[in-house]
Structure formats: structure tokens, C-alpha cells
């Protein structure tokens, strides 16, 4: 069954109500073995497409993952990018900002990790934290020591959305294709996964009381995500709202999205110049007649 990724794409300029977006859909596989086989096929495609991206060195692709706790960002990145050559892929996870990072504008720390041309870059969380977790927790905004007039401006989130949109246009104009993936998890499934982390000793390190405190703010996070997705999904940098209650299915969808994005770049392997071709033929002759 072909995966039509357009159905998961958030339209530009439309208000978003996450309750209208599914967290679980009919799976694109009939068995675990079939799922593994399909994911491997996607991984093989990604590897070949990345080889072309690296050789051409004119484009870069930045894939941003954002989600609620326990939505499966880490495992999705691990499984989807498993077949990609590490030489041409960079993964960055962003935790709480340092004092130095807080002293700069909110886009500064992630800008330093935008992939160079020829590379795929993965952001596990990103500058979008500044309009998500910071919005839910205004005390984090206070730590940024912004001028009082900016800090108290009721339009601050609108202004940040505008900054993000302009920044992503800037990246696009410089050969960086931005694709953003929101793993859309239900509250019930998050509860199940958190309980599993408690009941599985080797997963205990993944959970703390802070996770439950964040869960109490579920409605606040939903509102923040709705505003964010609606304000920043654009044709040049789209958001995809991927159903995340079924992890294997989510991985298949994500891998197909990235394959489609890379295919859309229509990259052609660089051709040898006439002089270089002659040199290669000489090298071939030497190697062929080597004793």
C-alpha cells in the first residue's frame, strides 16, 4: 500500500485543531515482518538519495522533530535513519539552553547546527521549543532577560512565529530544505507508555516527576502546538502531523516523507568533465594492465 504523505501535511495559513487530526490510523503493514521489510526498503532509498545529495553538495535537508513526551522521537530517528551513511547525516538534540545561549536571540543556538550543503540534518527538538515549552512556562521566558517592552508585549508569540517563518525562508533561499514533523500522540497512549517506563526497570531512567507535571499541562501544550502548526506551516517549510500512537506505522510514514522530500529535489549525480573523463580512462588503463 503506497503511503500518500500529503494527507499528513498541515495546510499553509489554516487554523489547526488537533482533535481533528488522528493519532492512530489503519497501519500500512499487515505483519511485523512486512513492516520491517518496508522500512528497510525506505532506508535503502534514503541511502541512495543521500549519496546523491552528498555528491551534488548543492542542497541540504533539515528535518525537525517536535512532540509531547513519550511520542517516540528518539526511536523514530534511530529506525528511520538507520541505513543512512553517518558521514552525510548530523543529529542534534536540544535540551534546556545554557546561560550563554540564553544571552543570545532565540534562534542563535540552533543556527550553529544547520546542516551544510550535501548533508541531512536532524533536530530532535529545535527553536520551536521557544514557542511551545517556553509559552507553556512563562518563567522560562523571564530567564532570557529580554527588554521589558518585549517581554510584556502580548504579541510576543506572533512576533516569534514571524521570525521563524522569515528564518526558514532564508534557509530555503540558501539551499536548505526544511521539513517539520509533529508526532501526534494521544493522552491515553502517553499514559500507557509512561506506565511502561515505570514498570520496566531498564526504562526507569526515562521518567521523572517532571514528566507527570508536564502531563498536567496537556491542554496548554495542545493549544501551543495548534497555534504553532497553524502559524508556521508553509509550502517552503511544511509541518506534517504524523499519527504517533502506532510507532511502527509512524516510522513508515516519516521515512516516506523524507524519501519524498529528497526525491523532490531532483538531484542528478555530478558528471565528470571531459578532461576528467580522459584522466579516469588513463587510470582505468593503468589498473587494468597492472601486474
CB 271 within 8 A of CB 55: no
The alpha carbon dihedral of 20, 21, 23, 27 has a sign of: positive
Grid cell locating 79: 529506525
Find the range with the poorest average confidence among 79-83, 106-110, 260-264: 79-83
pTM to 2 decimals?
0.93
Biggest CA–CA distance in the chain, Å, is: 78
Backbone angles phi, psi at 159, to 5 degrees: -65, -40
Residue with cell 552525510: 88
Beta bridge partner(s), residue 237:
234
Report the alpha-carbon distance of residue 249 to residue 77 in Å, rounded: 14
CB 195 within 8 A of CB 70: no
Q: What is the DSSP string of 61-104?
A: EEEEEEESTTS-HHHHHHHHTTTS-GGGEEEEE--SPPHHHHTS
Q: How would residue 195 be classed by pLDDT, with cut points 50, 70 and 90?
A: very high
Please give the mean pLDDT across all residues of the chain. Answer: 95
> What is the rounded average pLDDT of the residues 160-178?
98
Report the alpha-carbon distance of residue 164 to residue 178 in Å, rounded: 12
Q: Is 233 helix (H, G, I), strand (E, B) or coil?
A: coil
| Integer-rounded Cα radius of gyration of the chain | 22
CATH tag for 5-288 (out of 3.40.640.10, 3.30.230.10, 3.30.2350.10, 3.40.50.300): 3.40.50.300
- In this predicted model, what pLDDT tens digit does every residue of 49-86 receive, in sequence order? 999 999 999 999 999 999 999 999 999 999 999 888 88
Residue with cell 549525480: 269
- Which residues, other chains included, contact 125 with Cβ-Cβ below 8 Å and sequence gap of 6+? 65, 66, 73, 93, 94, 95
Q: Is 265 helix (H, G, I), strand (E, B) or coil?
A: coil
Backbone angles phi, psi at 237, to 5 degrees: -150, 75
CB 121 within 8 A of CB 180: no
pLDDT of residue 275: 76
Report the alpha-carbon distance of residue 157 to residue 269 in Å, rounded: 42
- In this predicted model, what pLDDT tens digit does every residue of 33-45 receive, in sequence order? 999 999 999 999 9
Amino acid at each position: 500500500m503506497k503511503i500518500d504523505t500529503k494527507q499528513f501535511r498541515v495546510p499553509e495559513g489554516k487554523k489547526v485543531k488537533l482533535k481533528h487530526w488522528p493519532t492512530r490510523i489503519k497501519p500500512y503493514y499487515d505483519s511485523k515482518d512486512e513492516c520491517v521489510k518496508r522500512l528497510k526498503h525506505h532506508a535503502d532509498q534514503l541511502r541512495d538519495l543521500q549519496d546523491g545529495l552528498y555528491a551534488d553538495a548543492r542542497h541540504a535537508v533539515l528535518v525537525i522533530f517536535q512532540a509531547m513526551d513519550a511520542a517516540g522521537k528518539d526511536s523514530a530517528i534511530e529506525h528511520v535513519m538507520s541505513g543512512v551513511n553517518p558521514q552525510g547525516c548530523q543529529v542534534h538534540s536540544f535540551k534546556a539552553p545554557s546561560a550563554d545561549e540564553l544571552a543570545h536571540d532565540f534562534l542563535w543556538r540552533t543556527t550553529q547546527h544547520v546542516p551544510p550543503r550535501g548533508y541531512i540534518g536532524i533536530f530532535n527538538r529545535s527553536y520551536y521549543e521557544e514557542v511551545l515549552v517556553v509559552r507553556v512556562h512563562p518563567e522560562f521566558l523571564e530567564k532570557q532577560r529580554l527588554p521589558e517592552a518585549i517581554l510584556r508585549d502580548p504579541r510576543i508569540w506572533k512576533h516569534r512565529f514571524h521570525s521563524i517563518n522569515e528564518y526558514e525562508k532564508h534557509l530555503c533561499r540558501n539551499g536548505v530544505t526544511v521539513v517539520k514533523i509533529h508526532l501526534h500522540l494521544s493522552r491515553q497512549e502517553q499514559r500507557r507508555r509512561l506506565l511502561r517506563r515505570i514498570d520496566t526497570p531498564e526504562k526507569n531512567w526515562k521518567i521523572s516527576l517532571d514528566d507527570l507535571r508536564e502531563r498536567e499541562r496537556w491542554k496548554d501544550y495542545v493549544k501551543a502546538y495548534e497555534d504553532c502548526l497553524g502559524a508556521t506551516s508553509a509550502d517552503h517549510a511544511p509541518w506534517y502531523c504524523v499519527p504517533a500512537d502506532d510507532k511502527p506505522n509512524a516510522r513508515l510514514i516519516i521515512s516516506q516523507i523524507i524519501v519524498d522530500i529528497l526525491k523532490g529535489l531532483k538531484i542528478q549525480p555530478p558528471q565528470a568533465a571531459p578532461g576528467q573523463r580522459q584522466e579516469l580512462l588513463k587510470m582505468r588503463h593503468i589498473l587494468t594492465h597492472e601486474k
